[in-house]
Amino acid sequence: MTQIAITRTATPKQTPADETLAFGKVFSDHMFLMNYEDGKGWHNPRIEPYAPFTLDPATCVLHYGQAIFDGLKAFRGPDGQVRLFRVGDHARRLNKSAHYLCIPEMDPAMVEESIRALVEVDRRWVPSLPGTSLYIRPTVIATETFLGVHPSHSYLYYVIVGPVGAYYKEGMNPVSILASDQYVRAVKGGLGAAKTAGNYAASLYGAEEAQKAGYTQVLWLDGVEHKYLDEVGTMNIMLKIGDEVITPPLNGAILAGITRDSVLTLLRDWGLRVSERPISIDDVLAAAKAGTLEMWGTGTAAVISPVGELGYKGERYVINGGKTGALTQKLYDTIVGIQYGTAPDPHGWARLLGNRLGG
Ligand SMILES: *Cc1c(COP(=O)(O)O)cnc(C)c1O
């Protein structure tokens, strides 16, 4: 693997107090960069001081959205150690997203190494207050200068990181979600399985409408029949009806969430009945009315987000008495325990950072 050249900043910033941290507002001192050009491949991996880019106004990503990203976290445990959570899986997923967007193959080992190296250089930016973490955003953009629709011949891969606050400052609180019978996020045959910019652009209008109606998130239904659950906001959706845990299958319209996989793995470890199968909104409403439903979203930002209320066609349905369910809470506690190194990690999900650089 090519050596990563490291240029350290001459003007390190002050890190914010852990108590003041929000999400996605503060970035560290450095970033990782690597370029691609046809004929040369991926080259020049380097860590440099965090700084703005200069892009020609005709840079194709700005017009045609050939862009992908991923999102993962590093955690500082009470033992002072820093752990990257499932970094290899996130690196492999970035490469899958690249494939869907006609972006050249990215070696997952190189992606993992870029993340590890950057977090080591900016290790002092990993906060330590319980619930806080360092959010890591690997991104690829198409950089060729042209107007016209075809895959770019050059790309920039970069990674930025920043400390983020606890998602739940006062314990888990269930969210209210609106099942949309009008707007869709992605359809089978489209780009739903890629973490690509356009999917988030496609979600904005529906999300605004849901917020105007008093809901936190949209429950996206499938793009063909508007009948089967796809995802919730930018999370995967799961529910428990009686003794069966159900989540939509990876059918090309939804993202293969790493948290989704962590949860399914834990549930199977615990001997629960788990089904990856289509689940209709009618079945969900029936279970909500019968009082046999527990429902939650999964994603890196929140880990687990309990759903306390569901809106559909002008009606509001309370789920599990509007409270966090017992299984929802147990999943959250278990995953968070692994992330901070306070619980056993039987699947080897946490990767310890070396102690070379202190901080
Ligand atoms: C990132 C994301 C998820 C969650 O994936 P994780 O790997 O668990 O963070 C789910 N759905 C969408 C649309 C996403 O962008």
Mean pLDDT of 181-206: 95
* pLDDT bucket at 357, cuts 50 / 70 / 90: very low
Which residue owns the Cα nearest ligand 1 atom 15? 234
Pair type for strands 67-69 and 133-142: antiparallel
- What whole-number distance in Å separates Cα of residue 222 and Cα of residue 188? 8
Task: Enter the tokens of residue 236.
Answer: 């995967």
- What whole-number distance in Å separates Cα of residue 15 and Cα of residue 318? 42
Confidence (pLDDT) at 359: 42
Which residue owns the Cα nearest ligand 1 atom 5? 257
CA torsion angle 38 39 45 46 (round to 10): -80
Please list the residues that pair with 245 across neighbouring strands: 240, 274
Amino acid at 35: N
d(CA 198, ligand 1 centre) in Å: 14
Confidence (pLDDT) at 1: 62
* pLDDT bucket at 101, cuts 50 / 70 / 90: very high
Q: Is the CB of 258 under 6 A from ligand 1?
A: yes
Mean pLDDT of 25-49: 98
Helices (DSSP H) in 107-257: which residue ranges? Answer: 108-121, 197-212
Q: Are 313 and 284 in contact (CB under 8 A)?
A: no
Atom of ligand 1 nearest to the CA of 90: 7
Mean pLDDT of 67-96: 98
d(CA 101, ligand 1 centre) in Å: 17
Distance of CA 87 to the CA centre of its chain: 12
Q: Is the CB of 234 under 6 A from ligand 1?
A: yes
Q: What is the DSSP letter of 267?
A: H
Q: Is the CB of 297 under 6 A from ligand 1?
A: no
Q: Is the CB of 231 under 6 A from ligand 1?
A: yes
State how far the alpha carbon of 55 is from the alpha carbons of 52, 60, 178, 239, in Å. 10, 10, 39, 44
pLDDT in tens, 258-290: 999 999 999 999 999 999 999 999 999 999 999
Which residue segments constitute the domains of the chain, with CATH numbers given?
A: 5-165 (3.30.470.10), 175-340 (3.20.10.10)
Instruction: Evaluate if residue 127 carries a pLDDT over 90.
Output: yes
d(CA 11, ligand 1 centre) in Å: 35
- What whole-number distance in Å separates Cα of residue 163 and Cα of residue 71? 13
State how far the alpha carbon of 15 is from the alpha carbons of 46, 73, 90, 162, 357, in Å. 23, 17, 26, 10, 17
Best of 231, 236, 261, 264 to mutate for ligand 1, by most ligand atoms within 8 A of CB? 236
Kindly report the pTM of this predicted structure: 0.97
- What whole-number distance in Å separates Cα of residue 175 and Cα of residue 23? 18
Residue 348, Ramachandran bin (φ over 0: left; ψ between -120 and 50: alpha; else beta): left
d(CA 89, ligand 1 centre) in Å: 12
- What whole-number distance in Å separates Cα of residue 309 and Cα of residue 307? 6
Mean pLDDT of 17-44: 97
Residue (of 175, 167, 193, 27) closest to 96 by Cα position: 193
CA torsion angle 299 302 304 305 (round to 10): -110
- What whole-number distance in Å separates Cα of residue 73 and Cα of residue 338? 13
CA torsion angle 161 253 193 250 (round to 10): 110
Mean pLDDT of 24-52: 98
Atom of ligand 1 nearest to the CA of 260: 8
Q: Are 270 and 288 in contact (CB under 8 A)?
A: no
- What whole-number distance in Å separates Cα of residue 35 and Cα of residue 220? 36
Please list the residues that pair with 296 across neighbouring strands: 238, 306
Q: Is the CB of 298 under 6 A from ligand 1?
A: yes
- What whole-number distance in Å separates Cα of residue 85 and Cα of residue 305? 18
Confidence (pLDDT) at 358: 43
Three-state DSSP state, 42: strand
Q: Is the CB of 299 under 6 A from ligand 1?
A: yes
